[in-house]
Amino acid sequence: MSENYTDDSIRTLDWKEHIRLRPGMYIGKLGDGTSHDDGIYVLLKEIIDNSIDEFVMGNGKTIEVTINENQVTVRDYGRGMPLGKVIDCVSRINTGAKYDSNVFKKSVGLNGVGSKAVNALSGYFKAQSIREGMTKVVEYRKGDIVHDAAVTPSEDKPGTLMSFVPDEEIFGNYRYLHEYVEEMLWNYVFLNNGLTIVFNGQKFYAKNGLLDLLERNMAGAETMTYPIIHIREEDFECAFTHSNNTYNEEYYSFVNGQHTTQGGTHQNAFREAIVKTIREFYNKDYDTADIRNSLVAAISIKVQEPVFESQTKTKLGSQNMEPNGRSIRTFIGDIIKKHLDNYLHINPDTAEALHRKILQSERERKDMANIKKLARESVKKVSLHNKKLRDCRIHFNTNHEKRLETTLFITEGDSASGSITKSRDVQTQAVFSLKGKPLNSFGLSKKIVYENEEFNLLQAAINIDESIENLRYNNIVIATDADVDGMHIRLLLLTFFLQFYPDLVRSGHVYILQTPLFRVRNKKETIYCYSDEERQNALKKLGANPEITRFKGLGEISPDEFRHFIGPSMRLDPVILKRDMSIPEILEYYMGKNTPERQQFIIGNLRVEEDVIAEP
């Protein structure tokens, strides 16, 4: 073997070859757009981040975003890239003005990689700069220049226009979900007062920063224990309250406008400061869990030259506000101490409501201690003799490069779970098998999570009872039959998650697995169809007398076939909570006692499906 290791074995990849060969190093996972952290949204974010940096530096108050099918266009009205450096800015790694702290002091992107990654991973990419009455346009395909136009006069307003189409060779059959795009854009305007973003004609604008973010995400004052406390000082802003509807902590944290979904130094400093200040205000050493239970907070900090733990910037690693400057921990701690202490003294009603909440959490924690102890013992005992969970080897709460691919399939019945278990990737895919229909948990207390063996084992497998940060799988996939019983099981599981772990759904971790309804094949080709329309198209393609099979349940699909449906081309429907949806109202409507109203909805949306007979 060694004789083949020669000078010719050594290759040096150029910038675009390396990005296309190792896209995960630059944008995290790829995905098809069904998950909010899929690569196509990272591409969009990288381009918008550049326009946000222009706004932060006082240039351009409007950003226009258009998505037409799979073509994305972002137009800002900032200064525009220097015309002689357009090519360098979008196709030369480690090139950009953000290395000059006098030009971009507290920027989102500092690595000079973002727009280059978008360029390399796009089937089509266009960069246009309008500046001082002149314009420059360059077009690319997969990172290669296909058109380099000369600088010409322009009457358009100054700024930058970027347009791209993610490459199907890299991302496969993908689609942009507007719900994810809209959530991203709302976060941008919440964090940047005075900014307007127009997305496909819809205007996004916010007046009160993180206060607006929290009010929008909490869906009504009735869900708040006390009015939102809003603090702003220097480069730090936060808004928080305690929720009446959740049991866990929930955070929306940002650094220089970047949504740090995995938190980091700033989030840890905030959590520590809240506990310390509240203990000192009430002059009692309350348990940390009692203070932070049901806390919902939005946090934003601006840091000079931030250090993130990856190119996708989901967790802050910086310890200081700036090189050799104040520590983030001290900076946030001092601000929270001063403002929260003052607020609680000035607003005794809020102080009393907060105090009652802490005491309530303390009582509930003590009441649940014995139940949790018995539950843990039950989990250990049952797990020894139980095959409900077929675990995988890699988990989301590790630093493994494949952590974003980790998936837990929740299915019902031995045959279905058996097929998935035999077909799965044991590195990243786990299976949890239900025994029949789970309990309807609507209106029940969290005590039921520990007393019900099935829910107890499920939450232990997912590992989010203490905090969503401990989540063991990035994707929680409900895999049930596409019949009435299967739909009912889906609804019962969603009720469980929304009732006790709504942040799991809000954070975009819950999905429904799509499996084919039909198999259409002849001697040369097999086509799996997920709808009647796809079945009709398959019949036209294969011609006369193909064999048609209607799958009635997951157990009828062989393990060999299942590999097609839970592999790279797996089809998932994300469970999305729109911001105007109230969880209590959703649960009351679907799981409450409003039977006549629900019956009318079902009758009005009834769809009759014709049986399909397999033809030889």
- Give the single-character DSSP code of 151: P
| pLDDT given for residue 567 in this prediction | 83
Q: What is the residue type of 316?
A: L
User: Taking 60 as the threshold, does the pLDDT of residue 561 lie above it?
Assistant: yes
SS3 134: strand
User: Taking 60 as the threshold, does the pLDDT of residue 614 lie above it?
Assistant: no
| pLDDT given for residue 106 in this prediction | 59
Same domain for 262 and 308?
yes
| pLDDT given for residue 530 in this prediction | 87
In a domain, 278, yes or no: yes
In a domain, 340, yes or no: yes
Q: How far is CA 473 from CA 36, 84, 392, 492, 502, in A?
A: 15, 47, 9, 20, 16
User: Taking 70 as the threshold, does the pLDDT of residue 105 lie above it?
Assistant: no
* In contact, 189 and 164? CB cutoff 8 Å: no
Same domain for 106 and 169?
yes
SS3 138: strand
State the pLDDT confidence band at 99, using cuts at 50, 70 and 90: very low
85 vs 261, more confident:
85
Query: What is the mean predicted confidence (pLDDT) over 28-48?
Result: 89
* In contact, 130 and 159? CB cutoff 8 Å: yes
| C-alpha neighbours within 13 Å on the C-beta side of residue 101 | 7
| pLDDT given for residue 197 in this prediction | 97
231-248: burial string, b at 16+ Cβ within 10 Å, e else = bbeebbbbbbbbbebbbb
Among 266-280, 309-323, 490-504, top mean pLDDT goes to 266-280
State the pLDDT confidence band at 113, using cuts at 50, 70 and 90: low
pTM: 0.77
In a domain, 598, yes or no: no
Domain-terminating residue out of 204, 233, 262? 204
| pLDDT given for residue 44 in this prediction | 95
| pLDDT given for residue 190 in this prediction | 94
State the pLDDT confidence band at 219, using cuts at 50, 70 and 90: low
| pLDDT given for residue 560 in this prediction | 82
* Both tokens assigned to 573: 């429907």
Domain-terminating residue out of 204, 221, 245? 204
Same domain for 35 and 129?
yes
User: Taking 50 as the threshold, does the pLDDT of residue 402 lie above it?
Assistant: yes
Query: What is the mean predicted confidence (pLDDT) over 517-546?
Result: 88
Mean pLDDT of the chain: 85
Query: What is the mean predicted confidence (pLDDT) over 574-596?
Result: 74
User: Taking 90 as the threshold, does the pLDDT of residue 545 lie above it?
Assistant: no
In a domain, 56, yes or no: yes
517 vs 608, more confident:
517
SS3 141: strand
Angle between helices 265-282 and 348-384 (to 10 degrees): 120
Helix ranges restricted to H, 131-241: 168-171, 178-191, 209-218
User: Taking 60 as the threshold, does the pLDDT of residue 107 lie above it?
Assistant: no
Domain-terminating residue out of 181, 204, 227? 204
Helix (H) or strand (E) holding 65: strand 62-68
Among 212-216, 296-300, 304-308, 486-490, top mean pLDDT goes to 296-300
State the pLDDT confidence band at 275, using cuts at 50, 70 and 90: very high
In a domain, 168, yes or no: yes
CATH of the domain at 336: 3.30.230.10
- Give the single-character DSSP code of 159: E
Same domain for 177 and 281?
no
Query: What is the mean predicted confidence (pLDDT) over 556-580?
Result: 81
Same domain for 99 and 172?
yes
Same domain for 415 and 563?
yes
Residue-wise pLDDT for 152-197, tens only, equals 999 999 999 999 999 999 998 899 999 999 999 999 999 998 999 9
State the pLDDT confidence band at 377, using cuts at 50, 70 and 90: low
Among 192-206, 410-424, 530-544, top mean pLDDT goes to 192-206
Closest by CA to 223, choosing from 201, 199, 245, 202, is 245
In a domain, 485, yes or no: yes
User: Taking 70 as the threshold, does the pLDDT of residue 441 lie above it?
Assistant: yes
| pLDDT given for residue 108 in this prediction | 52
Same domain for 339 and 281?
yes
In a domain, 536, yes or no: no
Starting from the edge strand earliest in sequence, which strands make up the sheet with 510-513, in order?
389-390, 429-434, 407-412, 475-479, 510-513, 572-574
User: Taking 90 as the threshold, does the pLDDT of residue 493 lie above it?
Assistant: yes
Length of the chain: 616
CATH of the domain at 438: 3.40.50.670
Q: Regarding beta strands 429-434 and 389-390, do their DSSP bridges make them parallel or antiparallel, or are they unpaired? A: antiparallel
User: Taking 50 as the threshold, does the pLDDT of residue 100 lie above it?
Assistant: no
Closest by CA to 188, choosing from 366, 64, 303, is 64
CATH of the domain at 180: 3.30.565.10
The Cα 337–Cα 587 span in angstroms is: 38
Closest by CA to 251, choosing from 404, 460, 467, is 467
Share of the chain above pLDDT 90, in %: 44
In a domain, 43, yes or no: yes
| Lowest mean per-residue pLDDT among 55-59, 75-79, 104-108 | 104-108
Same domain for 140 and 174?
yes
Domains in the chain, number? 3
CB contact set of 297 (below 8 Å; sequence gap of 6+): 214, 238, 239, 240, 249, 250, 251, 252, 270, 274
State the pLDDT confidence band at 387, using cuts at 50, 70 and 90: low
User: Taking 50 as the threshold, does the pLDDT of residue 48 lie above it?
Assistant: yes
For tokens 């840890």, name the residue: 268
Cα angle vertex 503, ends 220, 597, to 5°?
A: 55
User: Taking 50 as the threshold, does the pLDDT of residue 616 lie above it?
Assistant: no
* In contact, 486 and 413? CB cutoff 8 Å: no
Same domain for 58 and 181?
yes
Query: What is the mean predicted confidence (pLDDT) over 523-533?
Result: 88
Same domain for 198 and 214?
no
15 vs 540, more confident:
540
CB contact set of 356 (below 8 Å; sequence gap of 6+): none
Name the residue range of residue 453's domain: 386-515+552-581
* In contact, 214 and 187? CB cutoff 8 Å: no
Same domain for 43 and 169?
yes
CB contact set of 63 (below 8 Å; sequence gap of 6+): 48, 51, 52, 55, 74, 75, 76, 77, 188, 195, 196, 197, 198
Same domain for 354 and 477?
no
Outline where DSSP puts E strands in 502-592. Answer: 510-513, 518-521, 526-529, 547-550, 572-574
